[in-house]
Structure 1
Amino acid sequence: MIHDLVLTGGEVFGHGRADVAVRAGRIAAVGPGLTGDRVHDVSGLLVTPGLVDLHTHVGPGYWGIDPDPIAWRTGVTTWVDAGSAGAYTLEGLRRAVASYGVRVPALLNISAIGLAGRTGEGRDLANCEANLAADTVRAHRDLIRGVKVRIDRETVGANGVEPLRRGLAAAAASGVPVMVHIGAAPPPLDDVLGLLRPGDIVTHCASGIASAVGPAAREAYARGVLFDIGHGSGGFAFDVAEAQVAAGLAPYTISTDLHARSVHGPAFDLPTTMAKLLAVGLPLADVIAAATERPARALGLDAGTLAPGAPADIAVFRIEEGPFEVADAHRQVRRAPLRLVNEATYVGGRLLHPRLPAPSPPWVPLTAAQRAALARRDHDVRALLAAPLVDVDGLAEQFPLDPAGP
């Protein structure tokens, strides 16, 4: 059979050396000797399912970013928006999602106002109506895959775990999981973990602020609560992650919590975050699974796999041998043995093309070094694009002169 596209000669995750064939936007086959109208040689490269980032913020508001300028160079084809929108603001997220070239399932914030501001959305319980959230999930099931609740002292104030109780009620009524953000107490972390059900997700699991390594964390892990990295700007600490791995609490999923305050560091992107878990000692196969098939399974997404019939979301990587220095949210440093460098990203069999990022919003705090690096990047891009693409030897005479002359 002649397919639309074949990636040939690569090392395919879970299959070994094989070709990957695409037809009508879906995976048609994985195996040897496949043929297609377009054949891309990926010999010497690693082919994986498109990465699935379980915790991002790509909707309107304080934290939101445009995923497209990052997706094409990182292999991330599914961006789960983790609570940027609540019931009152969901239509804004839906409009944004329609403009993106990647897939964006969402978690509905239990607070109906979502993340329009930096924090505090759980301080007014009038905004945290379980019935409204459940009705919204059911009415928008094509988009919404779960409920998001942020529980830390800034977000909930004196309300403790009540927003989480309401989020759990909404999730139970609509048949979806809850993702809970953990951070600075109060309320105590044990109170948060004790409420979670099997299949619910605790993000920022390796937070140095919350430190989920005690008996309550072990009990939650044992009963099937899923631990998600959710790196962000303050949610990942190497020493906590190392203690969790040593205690048998390795993360189920690896996500970035990529947003306007983490995209320029310390998270940067999903391959960089994956390298940090390699530095902690997780095997490459586990790290890839934690950024593909496992997050897809957690939310029931049609993603994270190269099985025939699945959407042809594909990432092609070059493996660079290290060691490479990587830093957590608290500037602790470790060395990763290798890193994945993206060479091509496909969504539905369509190659994503380069996109330039927008400037950082004015409310985002940046270090002097970050500002200088962004200015250098802008200068370098301008210089690259301002120079003629080729010299005269690289041109063809598209409209030859008439030899007979005028």
Structure 2
Amino acid sequence: MTWDLLLAGGEPFDVAVEGGRIAATGKGLPRTGARVVEDVGGLLVTPGLIDLHTHVGPGYWGIAPDPIAWHTGVTTWVDAGTAGAFTLDGLLRRSFDVRVVGLLNISAVGLSGRTGESRDLGNCDVALAIDTVQAHRDRIFGIKVRIDRETVGDNGVEPLRRAIAVGEACGVPVMAHVGSAPPAVDEVLDLLRPGDIVTHCASGIASPVGPAAVRAGARGVLFDLGHGSGGFAFDVLERQLDLGLRPHTISTDLHARSVYGPAFDLPTTMAKVLAAGLPLAEVIEAVTVRPAAALGLDGGTLDVGAPADLAVFAVEPGAFEVADAHLQVRTAPLRLVNVATYRKGQKLTPRLPEPPAPWIPLTGAQRAALSRRERDLRALLSQPLVGPDGLADQFPRETK
């Protein structure tokens, strides 16, 4: 057997790749059996991370995933409702290095604007959404609905009821965003079915910490972190943990306003959950096998035969200050620093980040940091890669 790639010496074991899938795992796999051997001794090898709540489709909130994926280990990006039936083609026609799957917005206009997509119930067309999901079962794995006062106006939980009708007809879960009331968060939670997902589960604005939250968790509603710009508060998560409610999945809600902070990326968001006291093994499950199972995706494991979506991390112990969406600070005991990311066994290559869209509000400190990063990149790339002693004479002249 000859493998395309062998990640050797890492924890928990060596991983061999052939044809874009995991071919073998174990300690001390023979290096002579691989065309390419990467020594990852002292490093942690995980399945490629799955971010259950991101925004990479067209519109106000969307970002490009590839410039972030290669240095964060996130190989599957779930676009959570950026696209509706009217705008889905704008997402499906884009080409990515990473895997992008979607949750269809119950509103056909999707997130083309900042908010308000479900104020006109004419956009929440159940039949149209069912037809759209059925036509794209290879890319659409659920329904997304935002339920807060700005998004739904006077329509209350009716958009959620319609999303659930689509979910039932198509056999897919519904992800419900919770935020500012009305409607009350309890109304949302009481409608969700086992296997449905409440994102922004530790929101400091919605604060789902009452009996309805406990009931929802007990009947199998999945709690997803969904950090975003305003969807995560340490004190709410800590109260939920006291109630026995744990985030089933950890996601960033990464979009054009949260990517510059406070969410930043998935490893940073994971560090925040570590700071709240969850163990590393559980945190890794919450960004790999659990989101895969929630949507019925392949991957999320290091099992033989699984897609060779892999992430390699250095585990750095220390005391790392991290902040939630409301600038409450906690200290993480470690952080994961990505060393390499592979999609179907191919190493993702560096990509420069895109500049922020002109409508994104940024602080002076954020703008200064972006300018500093641009200067640092320019200075780095303006220098010759090596000096004369690092070169070879590629075309020697003939000597007489």
TM-score using structure 2 length: 0.99
Residue of structure 2 in register with 1:395 after alignment: 391
Distance 1:248 1:33 in 2: 40
Aligned to 2:21: 26
1:126-137 matches, within 5 Å, as 126-137=122-133
Question: Which residue in the other structure is 2:35 paired with?
Answer: 37
Q: C-alpha separation between the residues in 2 aligned to 1:183 and 1:400?
A: 68
Query: Offset of 1:92 from its aligned partner?
Result: 0.5
* Residues 5-404 of structure 1 aligned to structure 2 (within 5 Å): 5-12=5-12, 18-34=13-29, 35-96=33-94, 99-404=95-400
Code of the residue aligned with 1:25 in structure 2: it is G
Task: Write the distance in 2 (CA, Å) between the matches of 1:328 and 1:78.
Answer: 24
Structure 1: distance between partners of 2:201 and 2:272: 14
Measure, in 1, the Cα distance between the counterparts of 2:110 and 2:85: 8
1:344 counterpart SS class: strand
Shift of 1:2: 2.0
Following the alignment from structure 1 to structure 2, what is the Cα–Cα distance between the partners of residues 114 and 32?
Answer: 47
| 2:3 aligned partner, one-letter code | H
Give the aligned partner of residue 3 of structure 1: 3
DSSP-derived class of the 2:311 partner: strand
Identity %: 73
Aligned partner letter, 2:350: P
3-state secondary structure, aligned to 1:288: helix
- What amino acid is the match of 2:245? L
Deviation (angstroms), 1:32 = 2.4
Deviation (angstroms), 1:33 = 3.0
Q: How far apart are 1:11 and its partner, in Å? A: 0.5
Is the 8 Å Cα contact of residues 9 and 28 (structure 2) preserved in structure 1? Answer: no
In the alignment, residue 2 of structure 2 is paired with which amino acid? Answer: I
CA distance in 2, matches of 1:358, 1:282: 33
Q: Which runs of 5+ in 1 are unaligned?
A: 13-17
Q: Mind listing any 5+ residue stretches in structure 2 that lack a counterpart?
A: none
User: Shift in Å at residue 246 of structure 1?
Assistant: 1.4
- 8 A Cα contact 1:190 1:217, kept in partner: yes
Shift of 1:227: 0.1
Give CA deviations for 1:101-147 in whole Å, capped at 9, x if unaligned: 00011000000000000000000000001111111101110110000
Conservation of the 8 A alpha-carbon contact between 1:78 and 1:303: no
Separation in 2, partners of 1:87, 1:255: 24
User: How far apart, in 1, do the equivalents of 2:224 and 2:372 lie?
Assistant: 34
**Inter-partner Cα distance in structure 2 for 1:8 and 1:354:** 22
Give CA deviations for 1:131-188 in whole Å, capped at 9, x if unaligned.
1111110111011000000000000000000000000001101110000000000001
Letter in 2 for 1:28: A
SS at match of 2:100: coil
Aligned mates of 1:112, 1:222 — CA distance in 2: 32
Scaled by the length of structure 1, what TM-score is found? 0.97
Aligned equivalents of 1:351, 1:90: Cα separation in 2: 29
Aligned residues of 1:231 and 1:329 also touching (Cα < 8 A): yes
CA RMSD of aligned residues (A): 0.6
Q: Distance in 1 between matches of 2:14 and 2:280?
A: 21
Paired with 1:230 and 1:29, the residues of 2 have a C-alpha distance of 34
Deviations 1:246-300 (A, max 9, x none): 1110100000000000000000000000000000000000000000000000000
What amino acid sits opposite 1:282 in the alignment?
A: L
**Post-superposition shift, 1:401?**
1.4
* Distance in structure 1 (CA, Å) of the matches to 2:114 and 2:245: 30
Take 1:301 and 1:325, find their aligned partners in 2: how far apart are those partners?
A: 34
